[in-house]
């Protein structure tokens, strides 16, 4: 079982969510972590399940400088891939995540679940992230 956590975060909130996933997967699956603000990610085929994380940016879109270019380059390879989507937001109502889930489903990905957190992840978000990490291991 090989998993990846692929995220962008500008002020650390989505990164904190990635860390919850990483802690849960640690020791249970081989897990590679990619912070796409400083690393590239171009090989989804190498993983059984991938957790993607992006904050809501622009007007309810994925982080535009790093995450969106990476994601649009690889999304055609997500057909049949198990994915989890997560990210932090501020003043919206999660529209970016609903759009992103729909986009992944249209790509043919198997969306196992999504987690959103307003600002830093609260207890509920942490618990949802732990549950989804467990799903990724199945
Ligand atoms: C340029 C910019 C655009 C943003 N656009 C949205 C938005 O459309 N909807 C929303 O709910 N929050 C928006 N936010 C708030 C961020 O999603 C929020 O601060 C989030 O916690 C940032 O996550 P991060 O710490 O992982 O970067 C925006 C923030 C910035 C700086």
**Domain 2-136: which topology?**
Rossmann fold (3.40.50)
Tokens 């904190």 sit at which residue?
16
The answer, yes or no, to whether any atom of ligand 1 lies below 6 A from the CB of 14, is: yes
Distance CA(67)–CA(135), nearest Å, equals 24
Q: Which residues pair with 82 in a beta bridge?
A: 49, 110
Closest CA to 121 of 26, 15, 4: 15
What's the pLDDT tens digit per position in 59-88?
999 999 999 999 999 999 999 999 999 999
Query: What DSSP string describes 106-133?
Result: HTT-EEEEEEEEESS--HHHHHHHHHHH
What's the confidence (pLDDT) of residue 106?
Answer: 98
* Region 10-17 average pLDDT: 98
Which among 62, 90, 100, 116 is the best mutation to test ligand 1's pocket, defined by most ligand atoms within 8 Å of the CB? 90
The residue ranges of every structural domain in the chain are 2-136
Structure tokens at 8: 């962008």
What's the confidence (pLDDT) of residue 97?
Answer: 98
* Region 33-47 average pLDDT: 98
């Amino acid at each position: 079982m090989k998993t990846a956590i692929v995220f962008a975060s500008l002020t650390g909130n989505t990164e904190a969510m990635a860390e919850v996933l990483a802690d849960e997967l640690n020791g249970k699956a081989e897990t590679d972590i990619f912070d796409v603000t400083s690393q590239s990610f171009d090989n989804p085929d190498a993983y059984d399940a991938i957790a993607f994380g992006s904050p809501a940016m622009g007007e309810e879109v994925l982080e535009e400088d790093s995450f969106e270019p990476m994601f649009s380059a690889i999304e055609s390879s997500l057909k049949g891939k198990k994915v989890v989507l997560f990210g932090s937001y501020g003043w919206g109502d999660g529209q970016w995540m609903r759009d992103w889930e729909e986009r992944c489903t249209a790509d043919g990905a198997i969306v196992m679940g999504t987690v959103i957190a307003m600002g830093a992840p609260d207890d509920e978000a942490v618990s949802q992230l732990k549950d989804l990490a467990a799903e990724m291991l199945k």
